[in-house]
A and B are shown apart, each in its own frame.
Chain A
Amino acid sequence: MTAEVLKITDISKNFGGVAAVTGFSMIQRENEITAIIGPNGAGKTTVFNLITGVYPVDTGRMWFYDTEITRTPAHAITALGITRTFQNIRLFRNLNVLDNLKVAFGVKSRYTVWEEMVRLSRVRREERAVIDLAKSYLAYFGMERYASYYPYNLPYGLQRRLELARALMPTPKLLLLDEPGAGLNPREIRELIGTLLKIKEEKKLSMIVVEHHMELVMNSCTTLHVLDFGKKIAEGRPEEIKKNEQVLQAYLGDEV
């Protein structure tokens, strides 16, 4: 049995009377891709926001390896090694492609503000290393020639790729992908599946994917968690989920 990367027990979140997530639990194992699926408004993105500390949970607890992260502030969770992408792309519009990647590496920089002010050799050395790393990620995603572009001048597919590269910059242990396939055409989806599997193997990374796109989910994930109205209604391997009565009902409604 591989180690548990993330353990969530019974977390809930209400937004002023609306139960966005109720009693959700899951275990994420090392080097696995799992998916959280469910109809619109089922609370999938909220689960991500709870894991990454964007909102505090109302009840329940969460662990990342052996560290409890239930009350850890968002920026510290990232520093521990959980990074994510966003459903609506959130790149920094005033930083160019290379700098967008560099920002993400900030948690790993060792120099202090004082050293930066006088630009000690240590700062220069680290900066050069960050640039090299950022360029290697651009090369990995075939985007070298866009290094000095501003993100919103890039086509949509490249923006998505850049966000993925940015999430990989600080070499996380767990990657959360919020609808990575949204807005991509079938060919790009197939590319994405390949990329995700490749990253998983090469970087020894665990991933949780929130996704509507069944082709992506079925072809890349080992475990699926199905949410409906904030509650988990099923969990299992893709082929099990496909046959699950409750899941079909949630997606297609009663009395088909």
Chain B
Amino acid sequence: MEFYLKVLEITCLYTILVLGAYLMTGLTGLFSLGQGGFVSIGAYTAAIAYLKFGLPFAASIGLAVAMGIVVGFVIGLPTLRLHRDYFLLVTFGFGEMVRAALLHLAQLTGGGLGVAGIPKLVGLPTIILSIVVITLIIANLKRSRFGRDCIAIRDDELAATLMGIPVYRHKMKVFILSSAITSYGGAIYAFVIMFIEPNLFNWLESAKLIIITFVGGVNSITGAIVASVVYYSFGEFFRFVDVWRDVLLAIAVLLVTIFRSQGIFGNWELTPGKLLFWRRKEL
């Protein structure tokens, strides 16, 4: 039982990060390999604020989110003017830069040794509550103007501009919101796992977030969540297949991209209405 709870905890943690990536890559089509950087910023800010500066728990989390927002704004300012591949490269650089900085600012961050001795202050209920709140926010955004503008920008930036959408400003909002969610996820991570080090979130982890979003379906929050839960818990349950784990996943990803390019869930969303009327439809 203990084991399953642990798996669930970690899975849910990563799902928060996937939701951050979903907003950016799924909804708006901004391919960022720098999400890991924001996780680290969130985790380190919260841990250092709590341990070294003695801030209360809630304030540490708040500071981590604020830091994510500020860094998101500063990084977004020049990069969001770039186009697809260039944006990807620069955010990739940003993520690796954060990692290098954490390694070399040893006095503050503990360098390669990481930060240990963080108390476990966050349990499953908090994480699940966070997921619910974040999902609600993203779902609300998705079904009103904000989300439509995101999808419009992803589909055709020029046409979106001519619909009166201030594309750059809108991307900035998305980037900042995604950074806030991601650094929040990072902060929570620190207080769940109790140990953080610079290499926890390299660009590969960031890439995984994007892949999960795509497998689930870029137009479906439900898809992102389900794919994330399956992926991260699958990883834990199939530890015995060892290195073949990644091969299996790669095959799964390939199959999905070839045979269902819209992602497994396509445009389908699980809404409260569908949940309630599911049985009635069966009859």
Considering only residues 147-171 of chain B, those with a C-beta below 8 Å from chain A are: 148-149, 151-152, 154-156, 158-167
Say which size band chain B's interface belongs to: 20 to 34
Say whether A90 contacts B165, CB under 8 Å. Answer: no
Find out whether the CB atom of A93 lies under 8 angstroms from the CB atom of B140: no
Closest B residue to A79 by beta carbon equals B164
Known: A117-B137, A123-B144. A94 touches B164 (CB 8 A): no
Residues in B whose Cβ lies below 8 Å from that of A103: 148-149, 152, 160, 163, 165
A236 CB to nearest chain B CB (Å):
30
**Smallest CB–CB gap between A90 and chain B, Å?**
4
Chain A residues closer than 8 Å to B166, beta-carbon distance: 73, 75-76
- Inter-subunit contact B164/A78 (CB<8 Å): yes
| Distance of B23 from chain A, by nearest CB (Å) | 12
Q: Is B146 an interface residue (CB 8 A)?
A: yes
Check A94–B165 contact: CB distance below 8 A. Answer: no
Instruction: Determine if B48 is an interface residue (Cβ-Cβ < 8 Å).
Output: no
Looking across the interface, which residue of chain B has its beta carbon closest to that of A113? B146
Which residue on B lies nearest to A83, using beta carbons?
A: B162
Q: In whole angstroms, what is the CA distance A113 to B137 when docked?
A: 10
User: What mask results when residues 61 to 89 of chain A are scored 1 for a CB within 8 Å of chain B, else 0?
Assistant: 00000000000011110110001101000
| Contact pattern, A 97-114, Cβ under 8 Å of B = 1, otherwise 0 | 001001110110101010
Instruction: Assess whether B141 is interfacial by the CB under 8 Å rule.
Output: yes
Interface residue from B140, B141, B145, B159 paired with A106 (Cβ < 8 Å): B145
Q: Which residues of B contact A104 (CB under 8 A)?
A: 163-164
B183 at the A/B interface (Cβ < 8 Å)?
no
How far is A106 from B147 in the complex, measured between Cα atoms in Å?
11
Q: Tell whether, in the assembled complex, residue B162 and residue A116 are in contact, meaning their CB atoms are under 8 Å apart.
A: no
Instruction: Kindly state whether residue A95 has any CB partner on chain B within 8 Å.
Output: yes
Complex Cα–Cα for A200 and B1 (A): 70
Contact status A52-B162, CB under 8 Å: yes
Option from A75, A83, A84, A99 in Cβ contact (under 8 Å) with B165: A75
Let me know if B163 and A106 touch, CB within 8 A: yes
B152 A95 Cβ-Cβ under 8 A: yes
For residue A115, which residue of chain B has the nearest CB? B144
A94 touches B151 (CB 8 A): yes
Asked if residues A119 and B161 are in contact (CB atoms below 8 Å), the reply is: no
Instruction: For the complex, give the distance between the alpha carbons of A22 and B152 in Å.
Output: 33
A222 to chain B, nearest CB (A): 26
Chain B residues in 8 Å Cβ range of A170: 164
- Contacts A111-B145, A116-B145 known; A78 to B151 CB distance under 8 Å? no
- In the complex, how many angstroms separate the beta carbon of A152 from the nearest chain B beta carbon? 11
- Whether a CB of chain B sits under 8 angstroms from the CB of A27 is no
B111-134 interface (Cβ within 8 A of A)? none
Interface residues of A (CB under 8 A from B): 52, 54, 73-76, 78-79, 83-84, 86, 90-95, 99, 102-104, 106-107, 109, 111, 113, 116-119, 123, 127, 166, 170
Would you list 29 pairs from A and B whose C-beta atoms are within 8 A, ordered by A residue? A54-B161, A73-B166, A76-B166, A78-B163, A79-B164, A83-B162, A86-B159, A90-B158, A90-B159, A92-B151, A94-B151, A94-B155, A94-B218, A103-B152, A103-B163, A104-B164, A106-B163, A107-B164, A109-B145, A111-B144, A111-B145, A113-B173, A116-B144, A116-B145, A116-B146, A117-B137, A117-B141, A119-B140, A119-B144
Q: Return the 4 tightest CB-CB contacts between A and B, nearest first.
A: A107-B164, A78-B164, A90-B159, A92-B155
